[in-house]
Each structure stands twice: as structure tokens, then as C-alpha cells.
Structure 1
Amino acid sequence: MIRKLTVQDHKTVMDFLSEEPSINLFIIGDIEAFGYETDFQELWGEFHEDGKLNAVLLRYFESFIPYAKGEFDVQGFADLICNYSATPIMSGKASIVEQFEHVKGIELGPKKATFFAECRELTPINHTEYNIKIATIDDVDRILNLRMQIDEFSLSKEGRKMIVQDIENGTGRTYFIEDNNEIIACASTAAENSVSAMIVGVCTHKNFRNNGLATAIMQKLIGDVLAEGRILCLFYDNPAAGRIYKRLGFQDIGKWTMYRKKQDHHKK
């Protein structure tokens, strides 16, 4: 049986999701931030006959994230999604969301699959003398200036607003190193919640690469977040970057697949 979830289901839902806190980072974060009943966010649960929760579906505007631990009612979730959009933005654990590729009625957009890794314990690489700072609102434009110079990055129009919002709401932070008042390397968290956080935006100015700047920042950031009792996770599709992350203590836990609308820049 699939039904709408409410605040009365909160403990059951969080217990279910928290068994894989990294995979469920977005769902957990959105529940903590916005609850179960807003005009832009809803959640449904599929329950066994004995009342045990089997699967969860999140709608955040036109973006959907399904999660299950085994077989689930793919068609039932698809029917719900189609009530909102025949061409939804969808993302999630690859083994779950890729089942929707074969469901009639849903037209999925461009697909991107990435590795998904998490860190539960830091492996320090070396001691650093770099002065690593935590960004405030006053540093946002300098962060964006660096990101705009990174070829691999695709910045959305809402980029500045999202960084500011993360800092103000405590759902993200940016650590950086500067040189002559210019930020030359940085790394950020996003979607921080009570149990997990995601690392995003790791970059170094092209003139300062191969000096260990990003690694030093990551080491500091990882240590601070883990000390708060949270697990860290990240996406990567570059094997070279993956090797650096693994040296710091990250381990692959699966793949994350996204289906986006063309020219879509939604955070999920």
C-alpha cells in the first residue's frame, strides 16, 4: 500500500532512511528543512501488509527521489510522479531509479551516472601550514570568482543565492585558502543535515595546482564535519579525483544516477 506520509510517520521514516544516511542525504535534509506538507514538497511511503515501511518517494518541486531497500512498487510510484510531470527530474541510487527507465508514461531526460562515496573516518595525509578559513557572506563573490575560472564547473544563475542560503541556514559551508586577497582553492559542503553532509565544489585555481591546496582544505573540512558526528559523502566521475578522496578515507558505496531536464540546474 502506498500512502502520503505525515509528521506522525516521522520516527518510522527517519529510522528507515538513517540505515543509509549518505544515500538518503537529500531526503533527510529536505524533511528536516521543510517537513511533510508544503506546496512544493511531499512524501509517500509504501508499506507492507504488516505495516512495515518498504519504500519512500520524495517530491521537491518537480524533482523526485525514490528510495527502497529491495523490491518496491515502481509502477505505483511512477503513477504518482506522472500526476506532477511526465518528464520529471529524478535522481537516486542507481539500482533504484534506473528501474523507472522501463516504465510507460514517464519520459526521463539526459542521464548522468556518477560514483558515490562516503567517509566515516578521516585518514590524515599530512600536516599543513596553510591558513584555511571558513567563508562568511562577505566571501561569496570571491568564491564565485574562482569557480567561474574552473572549466569543469557549470554555474547556475542561482549559484550566489544558493551559497548565501547555505551559509545563512547552516546547510552548507565553504573552506578556502587565499593569496593576495584572492581565493585560490576551496571546498564546500551542501545539504547538511543531522546525520550527513555532501562535499561539493572542490577546486583550485589553475596557477596554484599540484601544491596540495585542495587536499589540505578537504582534510580540514572532513575532520571538522566528522567531529560533529556526521558522515560525509560525495559524487565523482573522475578516477583521478576518486583516488585522492580514497586516500582521505572515502569508500565507494554505489552509483548515483540523475535524469535532468535539458538546461536544468536544480540542486538534485
Structure 2
Amino acid sequence: MIRRLTEDDRELLMVLLRKEPALNLFIIGDVENFGFEQDFMALWGEIDPSDGLIKAVLLRFYRSYLPYADGPFDVEGFATIMRKDNDIHMISGVTEVVKAFDGVINFKQGKQLYFAELKELNPKIIAPYSSANNINIATVQDVEAICSLTDTIEEFESSRDGSRTSLRKTLASGTGRTYYMKREDQVIATASTSAENSMSAMIVGVATHQAFREQGLATSVVAQLCTDLLHEGKSLCLFYDNPHAGVIYKRLGFQDIGSWSIMYM
């Protein structure tokens, strides 16, 4: 049976999501930050009649849908909900779950990313947090200096227009944090988190100024960011599609735990 979830279902939902907190960081974060009663967000759960537990969940966040299940689930039931939405833009999630909708929902295009998780930092990576290496924790006042760096990074071109607004909102709301390194008042390396919640966080926005690359600066910033989050008891994850970037993250201790698919309508 599939039904709309409410605040009364919070703990039952978390029982399911805690099984894989890294893979579920978006749903966990949205529930913790926004609850169940929002116009831009809705959650449906498939209830197992044998024990009353939630076995699968479907999140709508604005025009995007994210399904999750840790086993077989009612694909057609979730698809019926999505088909009723004439404004749907995207479906994303663990590849095995998203692929279950092949032939059930028509996708126009999509992409697949590697999904990696960090539970313990490689002890050989040292990133002491001190004024000596000039790693700082960003505030809203640092947004312009940080975006002046990311504006120059080709990989960030698609998100450039809203980067300042997005970063300000993230820092102000506490749903993410940014660390950065400066030389002569210029930000030369940075790394951020997004979708932070009580259990997990995602590493995003890793960048180094072109003139300062191949010095391990971004690695140092990411290592310090990861160290602080791990000390808070959070698991860390990230997406990547560049094998070279994957090597760098694996050196830190990240391990591939699956793949993530994004399908556009």
C-alpha cells in the first residue's frame, strides 16, 4: 500500500533511511529542514503489510522526484503518482532504483555519476587546521571572494548564474559549509558541503585556482573539511564522473558505493 506520509511517520521513515544515510542524505536533509507539510515538497511511502514498516519512499521536491527502496518495491504505484504531475522535470536516485522505471516512465535524456562515501579519512593525509596553511571557514561575507574563484572554473559554468545566491542561502541556513584557502587576500582553493543533515553531508564545489594547481591545496582543504565532519559523527559522500577526480578522492579514503542516475523528462 502506498500513501502520503505525514509527521506521524517521521520515525518509521528514518528507520528505512538510516540503513544507508549517505545515499539518503537528500531525503533526510529535506525532512529535517522542511518537515512534511510544504507546498513544494511531498513524501509517499510504500507500507509493508506484514510489519507496518515503510519499505520504499518517493520524495517530490519542487519539480524533481527521488525514489528510494532497499529491495523490491511497487514501481507502478510510484510511477502513477509521478505521471499525474504535468510539471515533472527530473527523476534521480540510486541507479538500481531509477532503472526500475525504464519502460514505465518515458525519459528524454540522463546521466550517470559515481557515488562515493567516506567513513574514515586516510591517516596518511594530513591537513592541520591552523593559520599556517590559511584554511578558513566561510561566512556570508566571503561569498563574493569564493565565487570569484569558482567563476573561473569551467566545470562550474552551468551553475554560475545562481552561485552567489545559492551559496549565501546555504551558509545562512546552515545546510552546508565552505572552507577555503587564501594567498594575498585571494581565494585560491575551496570546498563545500551541501544537503547537510544530522547523519550525513555531501562534498561539493571543490576548486583550485589555475595558477596554484598540482600543489595539493584542494586536497588539504577537503581533508580538513572531512576531518571536522567526521568528528561530528557524519558520513560523507560525493558524486564524480571524472576518473581523475575519483583517484584524488579515493586517496583521501572515499570508496565507491554505487552509482547515481539523473533522468530528465
TM-score by length of 2: 0.94
Partner of 1:148: 151
Rounded Cα–Cα distance in structure 2 between residues aligned with 1:97 and 1:47:
19
Helix, strand or coil at the partner of 1:246: helix
The one of 242, 248, 253 aligned to 1:249: 253
- The equivalent residue for 2:141 is 138
CA contact (8 A) 1:178 1:185 kept: yes
Aligned equivalent of 1:223? 227
Amino acid at match of 1:76: G
Distance of 1:67 and 1:78 partners within structure 2: 13
CA shift for structure 1 position 54: 1.1
Question: Using a 3 Å threshold, how does the CA distance of structure 1 residues 196 and 233 change in structure 2: closer, same or farther?
Answer: same
Query: Contact 1:87 / 1:107 at 8 angstroms: preserved in 2?
Result: no
Corresponding letter in the other structure for 1:160: R
Map of 1:161 onto structure 2: 165
**Gapped regions of structure 2 (runs ≥ 5):** none
- Number of aligned residue pairs: give it: 259
Partners in 1 of 2:35 and 2:216 — Cα distance? 41
Stretch deviating more after TM superposition (84-93 or 36-45): 84-93
Rate the CA distance shift 1:67–1:127 in 2: closer, same or farther, 3 A. Answer: closer
Structure 1 residues 1-268: aligned runs within 5 Å? 1-50=1-50, 51-85=52-86, 87-103=88-104, 106-124=105-123, 125-127=125-127, 129-153=132-156, 154-260=158-264
Cα separation, 1, equivalents of 2:127 and 2:30: 36
Give, in whole Å, the separation in 2 of the partners of 1:86 and 1:145.
34
Give, in whole Å, the separation in 1 of the partners of 2:126 and 2:140: 30
CA distance in 1, matches of 2:31, 2:66: 12
Deviation readout 1:103-160 (Å, 9 max, x if unpaired): 0xx3324211010001111114235541100111111011111111111222253221
Letter in 2 for 1:155: S
SS in 1 for 2:101: helix
Secondary structure at 1:216 match in 2: helix
CA distance in 2, matches of 1:40, 1:86: 12
Q: Deviations over 1:218-246 (max 9, x none)?
A: 11000000001111100011111111111
- Cα pair 1:81 1:88 within 8 Å, conserved: no
Larger mean Cα displacement after TM superposition, 152-161 or 209-218: 152-161
Q: Distance in 2 between matches of 1:232 and 1:37?
A: 28
- One-letter identity of the residue aligned with 1:165: K
